[in-house]
Amino acid sequence: MTAEQGTRSRTAAANQTFIRDQVKAYILEHNLKAGDPLPNEPTLMAQLGVGRHPLREAMKALQAVGIIEIRHGYGTYVGEVTLQSLEDGLSFRMSQSMGGDLRDIRNVLEVRRALEVGLADDVVAWFTERGSERLDEIVARMEAKAARGEYFPEEDWAFHLALYEPLGNSLVIDLLSVFWRTFAEVDARLPGARYSANDAAGWHRDLLEALRGGDPGDYAKSMKDHFVGIQTRFDD
């Protein structure tokens, strides 16, 4: 069977899957990196035995998730894959959840808790060896704002970012930033009373003190307590 005959025998949906899989396979087989050029449209049509319209549709789908980048007038290049599609999907689902049982919002918070508690050993090991001066400064800013009755979202994110950046796992940072931003979008609309700024500052002070203590179990407990506090937003 020729490639053209194979294309005709596939459904439109199957043809789209075939094209996307072949383009991804080409990138992997040729060890292409972000910014590397891909073959032009006529070449891909000939190699895959597909028409212009289905190829373009498949390439748009690959572009939507960041696998490729189409630069009009210049060509098609390997993209730099991000978690934007995950963030967009989570944000939509959490907004839908606001009109129901809040399950998707709870689920996102539970995943974030599992990730942060699960990193307790690595975080404590790193800061035990190197000190926590940067975290000290951030918590001090939190407490100063809390004393004025102000919340501190920038410092809050900076604290958690400072915990995990030293571990060198960029995927952890990317995932946490997605969870953080999507939760922040719905936080003000959650039914329960918001915790106080002083409460939030206290959670972070407790985390810092547990970190200084050097016991991963104590630190993990403090992190769990932190999330228990956040979950008051679900109380109606």
pLDDT tens-place string over residues 69-118:
999 889 999 998 888 888 999 999 999 998 888 999 999 999 999 999 99
Please name the residues in contact with 225: beta carbons below 8 A apart, sequence gap of 6 or more: 203, 206
C-alpha separations of 53 from 72, 111, 119, 228 in Å: 16, 40, 47, 52
Go through the chain and tell me how many residues it has. Answer: 236
pLDDT of the residue at 236: 54
| DSSP conformation class of 231 | G
Measured CA to CA, the distance from residue 43 to residue 123 in angstroms comes to 50
Measured CA to CA, the distance from residue 122 to residue 114 in angstroms comes to 14
- Taking only the tens place, the pLDDT of each residue in 150-181 is 999 999 999 999 999 999 999 999 999 999 99
pTM: 0.76
| CB 146, CB 200: distance < 8 Å | yes
pLDDT band at 2 (very low <50, low <70, confident <90, very high): very low
